[in-house]
Amino acid sequence: MKIVKRMEISFWRRKSKQKDKVQLYCRIAVGGDRADIGSTGITTYVDYWDGSQVSAQDPEAFFKNEQLGIMRDQLRAIFNDLFRRKEKITAAKVRRIYESGSEKVSLLSVFELYMAESRSDPDRNLKKASLDVYDNVRKKLIDFLISEKALDLLVEDFDLDWVKKFRIWMKKFPLAADQIGHADSYVAKHTQTIKNVLAWAKLKKISDLNPLEGMRINNPKYDDPVFLTDEQFEKLRNYQFDNSHLQHAADVFILLCRCGFHYGDLKDFVLQHKTASRTGLDGEVWLIKDRIKTEVSIRVPQFEEVKQIVNKYGGWEKLPLTSLPKFNAWLKVIAAKLDLPEDLSSKAGRKTFTDWCFNTLFLSTDSVKVVLGRKTASGLDVYGRPDERRVIGEMNQSTVLQKRKKDTCP
C-alpha cells in the first residue's frame, strides 16, 4: 500500500448573505483526492481576505486567524495520526474523522446514509415502494444485530461470516404461528441489498473497505408458484359467500386473477382508471398503466371476468378494496372454506393469471411479458411457467401433428 506523505489544507471564500462580506470554507487534498470540510463559520469583508489569512484591517483578525490555525492543526493531527499507524489515508477519511471524532463507521449508520441518498437522488427517482423495500431490509438488519448484541457493528466488519449468520437467522425467523423462516428468494434479495449498501459506502469513500467485494450471491431457489387451476378458479367464481367481507375479497381476487396486477398496482389503477382504461388497437378495452415499482408499462386486455366484477360494483372507483393485510387474511379464510391452496394471498392472483396465460391461452413468453409489465423474461418463472398443458395445447394446434394422426388412423 502506497503511503501518502502530504496533505494540503486550503481556505477559500464564498459570497456571504451579509453585504460586502464573504464566508470562509475549508478544503483538503490528499494524494490528488479532495474533500470539502465545509464552512469555518468565519466571515469577513471581501478585501480583508488575502487567500491565506484575515488581514489586520479586520478588528477581529487575531481571533479569526487563530480559529483557522486551530482548524489546520486539528486536520494535520488527524493526518499525522493515520500516517504514524501506516493506515490508508484519503481525504474523505480525514474529513470523516474530523466531523465525527472517529474513523470507524457502523453498518447501520451507513445504511441510514444510503437511505437518505436514495430518497433524494433525482437520477434514481425511486418510488415509495422501492424505498419501503430498502427500509424493510434495514429493519430486518436491526433486528438481527439486536439478536447478536452487535448494533454498533462496524461496516468493515460485516464480512462473509456475518452474512452467513444473517442468512441463517432469516431462515429461522418466526413468521406466523405455524411458519418459520423466510423463503430463499427473500433472503437472497435482502443479502443483495446489504451488499449494495457496502459497495456504495466504499464508492462514496465513507469506508475504505468493502468486506463483501467479490462475493457472489447464488441464484435463489424459488418454490413452485401458488396459483388456482382453471377448475379452482371457476369454483371460486361460482361460489356465493354469506359473509360480505369474504365475498368482497373473493371478487377482488377474481379480478386479480384475470388482470395480473399486484395489489398495489390495482389500487393505483383505480386512482387513474379514467385515463388508464383505454381503447386498444383492436377496438377493445385495455388496461394500461406503469407499474409502481419498475415504471414498466402493463398492457392487458380487459377480460370478461374483470368487466363483470367492475360492473357488479358500479365502476372501478367503487371496488371494495381494503388494506393488504386484511385482504390476505380474508383470502386465508376463503382458501380454508373452499379447499384452495392454504398459502393463498394477493400474489397468487398474479401467478394464477400467468399460469392461465401460458397454459390455457397459450400466449408466448413475449406476450406474457407485455401483459405482466416486464422488460425481460428473467425471473418470470417466479409467477408461472409453461407445463405439459401448454405442450398438449400446442401439439393439438399443430397442423403437422394433426395430419400425422389422420394419416396413421386406420
Overall domain count for the chain: 3
Q: Are residues 169 and 252 in the same domain?
A: no
How much is the mean pLDDT over the chain?
Answer: 89
Q: Are residues 390 and 246 in the same domain?
A: yes
- 40, 24 contact by CB (below 8 A): yes
**pLDDT of 1 above 60:** no
Q: Are residues 252 and 389 in the same domain?
A: yes
pLDDT in tens, 124-162: 777 787 888 899 999 999 999 999 998 888 888 899 999
Res 152: pLDDT: 83
Residue 214 domain flag: no
Residue 377 domain flag: yes
Name residues whose C-beta falls within 8 Å of residue 360's C-beta, 6 or more positions apart in sequence.
230, 389, 393
More confident residue, 313 or 294: 313
Burial of 200-225, coded b for 16+ CB within 10 Å and e otherwise, reads: bbbeeebbbebbbeeeeeeebeeeeb
Its pTM stands at 0.65
Question: Could you give the percent of the chain with pLDDT greater than 90?
Answer: 59
The 3-state DSSP class for residue 124 equals coil
In this predicted structure, which of 4-8, 143-147, 244-248 has the lowest mean pLDDT?
A: 4-8
Residue 407 domain flag: no
Q: Are residues 248 and 135 in the same domain?
A: no
Read off the pLDDT of each residue in 53-69 and give the average, rounded to a whole number: 92
Phi first, then psi: give them for residue 10, nearest 5 degrees. -135, 150
How far is it, in rounded angstroms, from Cα 370 to Cα 286? Answer: 12
Res 230: pLDDT: 94
Q: Are residues 64 and 146 in the same domain?
A: no
**pLDDT of 344 above 80:** yes
The enclosing domain of 369 has a CATH number of: 1.10.443
Residue 393: pLDDT band by 50, 70, 90 thresholds?
confident
Res 346: pLDDT: 95
**pLDDT of 247 above 90:** yes
Q: Are residues 152 and 191 in the same domain?
A: yes
Residue 118 domain flag: yes
Res 332: pLDDT: 94
Q: Are residues 58 and 146 in the same domain?
A: no
How far is it, in rounded angstroms, from Cα 199 to Cα 214? Answer: 10
Residue 73 domain flag: yes
How far is it, in rounded angstroms, from Cα 228 to Cα 206? Answer: 49
Read off the pLDDT of each residue in 88-104 and give the average, rounded to a whole number: 80
More confident residue, 82 or 237: 237
Residue 213 domain flag: no
Q: Are residues 251 and 345 in the same domain?
A: yes
Residue 209 domain flag: no
DSSP for 22-38, written as a single string? EEEEEEEEETTEEEEEE
Q: How distant is the alpha carbon of residue 369 from its chain centre? A: 21
Residue 261 domain flag: yes
Q: Are residues 170 and 194 in the same domain?
A: yes
pLDDT in tens, 18-33: 888 999 999 999 988 8
Q: Are residues 46 and 123 in the same domain?
A: no
The residue from 203, 220, 251 where one domain ends is 203
The domain in which residue 170 lies consists of 107-203
The residue from 100, 127, 158 where one domain ends is 100
The residue from 100, 134, 167 where one domain ends is 100
- 331, 343 contact by CB (below 8 A): no
Q: Are residues 33 and 135 in the same domain?
A: no
**pLDDT of 3 above 70:** no
In this predicted structure, which of 48-62, 199-213, 233-247, 249-263 has the lowest mean pLDDT?
A: 199-213
Q: Are residues 83 and 165 in the same domain?
A: no
